[in-house]
Amino acid sequence: MSYPLVTTDWLETNLNLEQLILVDASMSKVVGKKAIEYEMPLYIPNSRRLDLERSLCDPNSSQTHAFPTEEQFTAVAQRLGINSESIVVFYDNQGIYSAPRAWWIFQVMGFKNVFVLDGGLPQWLLENRRVVPNTSNIETEVGNINGIFNPQLICDSNFIFEQMNNKQLAVLDARSRDRFLGIAPEPRDGVRSGHIPNSISLPYSEVLDGHCFKIDEQLAAIFSARLDSKTSTLVFTCGSGITACIILLSAVIAGYRDLILYDGSWSDWGSNIALPVGN
């Protein structure tokens, strides 16, 4: 994977680049932090809008925020005007929240020329850069992108259950420490409190500095302090597979490469009484 972030300076300089597809992937519901609220919608100029919660979640799955199918991904990405040679940049209105999820979906579907705007809309506004009240009204031609799903980049509960005692694999949980310990209630009905046995707590707030990611060296230190030197594969989980992508992206920044998303995350594991809960 190439370096996954672009800066606000880079984006402002390249806003009118022909190959650039800039996409707002904000979500309406924010969990795990106090949401940044806006009096009116604001967008970076030339933005296109992606409804991540509806357009890129499989509606036929019982799983919360289930990964889209190849066909679903291809249809949505083509409607956004994305071609094989496009440069896609995602951002969201919380700084770093849902944009990493969109980035990982594109990675899993085989499109690598995709990036996240470090700091998102809040950092853009903090630097007094220009915003607009609507997304781009430019008529978008249908793109030619085709998704090719890589199943090795996501996993389910069966995989984690089988690998729980594998010392070369670590499961990192992006939820708050209190939810991990089971002393804070889960936001979804029917989901037990606690965590996957042998998993490691890494609240996503710990990899952020204000609206942006911490620098590479700081992130590398965060991971090395939690991981055994023999660990080669990292699996990421959270409540429903959204904020897990924040710490997954931070692992890429820190230099890790063998990375997997547990897409069902705790909403899947915690609702299955046949699966154990860690102490």
3-state SS, one letter per residue, for 168-198: CEEEEECCCHHHHHCCCCCCCCCCCCCCCCC
Instruction: Give the β-pairing of 154-155 and 169-173.
Output: unpaired
51: left (phi over 0), alpha (psi -120 to 50) or beta: beta
Buried b (16+ CB within 10 A) or exposed e, 174-200: bbbeebbebeeebeeeebebbbbbbbb
80: left (phi over 0), alpha (psi -120 to 50) or beta: alpha
CA separation, residue 218 to residues 29, 108, 118, 133, 135 (Å): 29, 26, 16, 36, 35
Describe the chain by its helix, strand, coil percentages, rounded to 5: 30, 15, 55
Name the token pair of 23: 């996409």
Name the token pair of 148: 């090719």
Active-site residues: which are they?
Answer: 238
